[in-house]
Amino acid sequence: MFTICWSQFYTTSDAHSSNFLLRVQCAAFCCPVHISNPNPEETGATKTTDPYRNKSRSDWLKSAEGTMGCVGSKEEHEPQGKETGIDELQNRIQTAHYVKDPTAGNSSKASKMPSNSSAGESIAMALFDYEAIHDGDLGFKKGEKLKILEEMGEWWRAMLISTGQEGYIPSNYVAKDTLEVEDWFFKGVSRKDAERQLLAQGNKVGSYMIRDSETSKGSYSLSVRDSDVQHSVKHYKIRTLDNGGFYISPRITFITLQELVNHYKKQGDGLCQTLTSPCLSPKPDKPWEKDAWEIPRSSLKLDKKLGQGQFGEVWMATYNKHTKVAVKTMKPGTMSVEAFMGEANLMKTLQHDKLVRLHAVVSKEEPIYIITEYMEKGSLLDFLKSDEGNRVQLPKLIDFSAQIAEGMAYIEQRNYIHRDLRAANILVNKALVCKIADFGLARIIEDNEYTAREGAKFPIKWTAPEAINYGSFTIKSDVWSFGVLLMEIITYGRTPYPGQTNPEVIRFLEKNNRMQRIESCPRELYDIMLECWKNKPEERPTFDYLQSVLEDFYTATESQYQQQP
């Protein structure tokens, strides 16, 4: 009933040192379990009103006093994929090498942008070079134009206008709207993500982006990196004129956004900084190969063993000689192939940029292989303990917390639960993006030490009292675990309840005691932990609320947008 943890060892280069660091990394197998029509009586829970249940994140964000107003951190996420469990697997074709991705057809089509062709054709421009690496792919160069023939999920069928060649292209490598081809335009980026990107390494004072407004559909916002002590990012609303023009300050207007950018590149004219260069935009990850779900074992080359755990091994591997992945191998007998495939198909439907992506499986025969995206810096726990992690300052620690809350808010929205949320089960990539390792295998593991609450592998120190005592796992028990995870983060990976054994922790909690605040922990952050550790599950906050509070930890009492210059 619980999760698999395998230690992974990664050798990574410290960004601030020439020394190579050997870091212990945990890739966790965490359990998102779908809940259909939960019945409180069945779990012994009390039917009590949840004070946070009907609170959306926007309800918790304050409005600014100034004329520029204040906007929420992020719009509500739309469900991605099915809301309910998938049907049982059909009989698998034993002779097939590749089996179709179970989420193909579930993914939303890309939003239709205004066509730039008078004939009504859908024309896109390449934002990056793409080299065809799969059968049926269409390669192209940055700046080339393509006619979109069919939109389906992450891969679109298109024709290269210059040659007439047809094939599949990664949808995140092209843009259909003329504004999207501008280096400074970032479509669909939230205010918080704009701050993360502008403060990332490589950007300097005056770096900027224009992005979609989160609160006013069809409007835009300008985000600029400032030179103040906090190296903060300032945000400006771009308002629209009735005739289609744009302005930040009403004393000067522009016909196009390009004119607006060019003006503020010449002079700050009231902005915090003169605009210098667009925010760096790294080439996005290529989508996983179309329809490659059940893949042949021969398509994988296991390059480096990263770790070994109770249930198998973890490898860095190469898929089809071109894509770096992580491969988890399951010891024979750990679970039935049928149970695994049923769960894996369900796991595949959970897709969010704060969840580790499940790419494919090898399940025709044992050992079962699970193929996921590769996370360069390994587990958050071991990153925090490393030299690089020890240099991370409080604002970034808060940001790690907000990222995890965002991923859990998605799981909450999809009516899943995690069951083993802790720093060892969060993975970190080279851009310091935290992702929840979300492999729902715990329900089908056959191991008494893993499934019994008194077993040695049971994570007592992270588990809510009702889950310890009654086996009642809900999204609210995940919230309790999140509070413990916050303490792990603020203490740079210290084990919770230091010096106490598991039985001592149980007795400690039965007396209504809680971990004490450490000196370096802000009082406001500790208050959030205490909210997560409420005795009654229904009194604990939602992850949606936790995300909004943590994202606005430093800005909740000030205007998120600057006054008109």
Q: Residue 194's pLDDT is what?
A: 94
pLDDT of 520 reads 95
What pLDDT shows up at residue 337?
A: 77
Average pLDDT over residues 397-419: 94
Asked if 307 and 8 count as a contact pair (C-beta separation under 8 A), the reply is yes
Burial 374-399 (b: 16+ CB within 10 A, else e): bbebbbbbbbbbbebbeebeeeebbb
CA atoms of 505 and 500, how far apart (whole Å): 6
Structure-block tokens of residue 353: 């940029």
CATH number (3.40.50.720, 1.10.15.40, 2.30.30.40, 3.30.413.10) of 123-180 reads 2.30.30.40
What pLDDT is stored for residue 487 in this prediction? 98
Instruction: Kindly report, residue by residue over 469-499, the tens digit of the pLDDT.
Output: 998 889 999 999 999 999 999 999 999 999 9
Pair 299, 319: CB distance under 8 Å: yes
Compute, in degrees rounded to 10, the torsion defined by CA atoms 393, 399, 405, 411: -120
pLDDT over threshold 90, residue 543:
yes
Q: What is the CA radius of gyration of the chain?
A: 25
Known catalytic residues are 420
Could you give the residue range(s) of every CATH 1.10.510.10 domain in the chain? Answer: 4-70+376-551
Q: How many helices and strands (H and E) does the chain possess?
A: 14, 21
Q: With 60 as the cut, is the pLDDT of residue 143 above it?
A: yes
Cβ atoms 335, 328 nearer than 8 A? no
Task: For residue range 190-231, list pLDDT tens digits in order.
Answer: 999 999 999 988 899 999 999 999 888 878 999 999 986 666
| 47 band by pLDDT with thresholds 50, 70 and 90 | very low
Q: How many CA atoms lie within 13 A of 165 on its CB side?
A: 14
Average pLDDT score over residue span 241-254: 89
pLDDT of residue 334: 74
Contacts of 109 (CB under 8 A, 6+ apart): 151, 152, 153
CA distances from 447 to 5, 116, 309, 513 (A): 13, 59, 13, 32
Would you say 146 and 159 are in contact if contact means Cβ atoms under 8 Å apart?
yes
Binding-site positions for ATP read 328
Mean per-residue pLDDT for 154-168? 82
Domain with CATH 2.30.30.40 in the chain: 123-180
Distance in angstroms (rounded) separating the CA atoms of residues 117 and 115: 5
pLDDT higher than threshold 80 for residue 119: no
Q: Which residue has the higher pLDDT, 70 or 163?
A: 163
Q: Which residue has the tokens 């940029």?
A: 353
CATH class of 184-266: alpha beta
Q: What is the pLDDT of residue 72?
A: 33
Q: Please write the tens of the pLDDT for every residue from 167-193.
A: 887 877 777 766 777 889 998 899 999
Mean pLDDT, the chain, rounded, equals 76
Report the predicted TM-score, pTM, of the whole model to 2 decimal places: 0.69
State which H helix or E strand residue 45 sits in.
none
Give the pLDDT mean for 360-370. Answer: 88
- Spatial distance between the Cα atoms of 175 and 53, rounded to a whole number of angstroms: 38
| Highest mean predicted confidence (pLDDT) among 101-115, 370-384, 510-524 | 510-524
Residue pair 311/331 in contact (Cβ under 8 Å)? The answer is yes
Q: What is the pLDDT of residue 471?
A: 87
pLDDT of residue 201: 85
Q: 4-70+376-551 maps to which CATH number?
A: 1.10.510.10
Nearest-angstrom CA–CA distance, 371 and 407: 20
Q: Output the pLDDT for position 51.
A: 52
Which residues of the chain are in CATH 3.30.505.10 domains?
184-266
Q: 362, 7 in Cβ contact below 8 A?
A: no
Confidence (pLDDT) at 565: 55
Please give the helix or strand (H or E) that residue 352 lies within, else none: none
Block residue for tokens 């409180």:
40
Is the pLDDT assigned to residue 154 strictly greater than 90? Answer: no
CB atoms within 10 A of CB 256: 12
Could you give the CA distance from residue 287 to residue 169 in angstroms, rounded to a whole number?
A: 10
Locate 527 and state its tokens: 């208050």
Which residue reads 């020439």 in tokens?
18
- Please enumerate, by residue number, every residue annotated as part of a binding site: 328
Name which of 489, 454, 460, 452 is nearest 477 in CA terms: 460
